Amino acid sequence: MNEERFFYIKLKTPLSIWQITGLLSWILIKLTLIASMIHQSAGEFIYAGF
């Protein structure tokens, strides 16, 4: 089995402190956007219950 495909996210080198800070900020921005939008949505997926 291709282990990388399923269990590991490719990390050629460990993330630098700047990459970690950038990624963490991007995750927080996304979470803020999601929190601001989530009340407007019924949250149903087109393929749900398919």
Partner 1 sequence: MTFINPTFWIVAVVVYILLSIETSHKASLRFGFINLFALNLLLGWQIALGALLGVTLFWGMVSLGLQYGAQKNQNKSLVGFSILAGVTVVFIFHKLNLQHSPWIETLQALAPWMRSDFFLTFLAGLSFSYIFVRCADALHCVFWKNCPLMGPLSLFGYLLPFHMLLSGPVNAYEEHLEMDRDAEPESVPSLDRVLLILNAITTGLLYKFVVAESLRTYFYGANGEMTVSNWGDSAILALYVFFDFAGYSRVARGLGLLYRVPTPENFSAPFLSVSVTDFWTRWHMSMGQFVRRNLFTPIQLNLVRAVGIKNAGWVSLVTMVVSFGFVGLWHRISWTWILWGVAMGLLMALEKHVQTFAMRKGWNRSPWIGHALPWLGPVYTNTVLIISVRFVAEEIF
C-beta separation of 23 from 15 below 8 A: yes
* Interface characters, 4-23, with partner 1 (x: CB under 8 A): -xxxxx-x--xx----x--x
C-beta separation of 4 from 10 below 8 A: yes
Shortest distance, position 28 Cβ to partner 1, whole Å: 9
Query: Residue 23: which residues within 8 A CB-CB, separation 6 or more?
Result: 15
Sites of contact with partner 1 (CB under 8 A): 1, 3, 5-9, 11, 14-15, 20, 23-24, 26-27, 30-31, 33-34, 37-38, 40-50
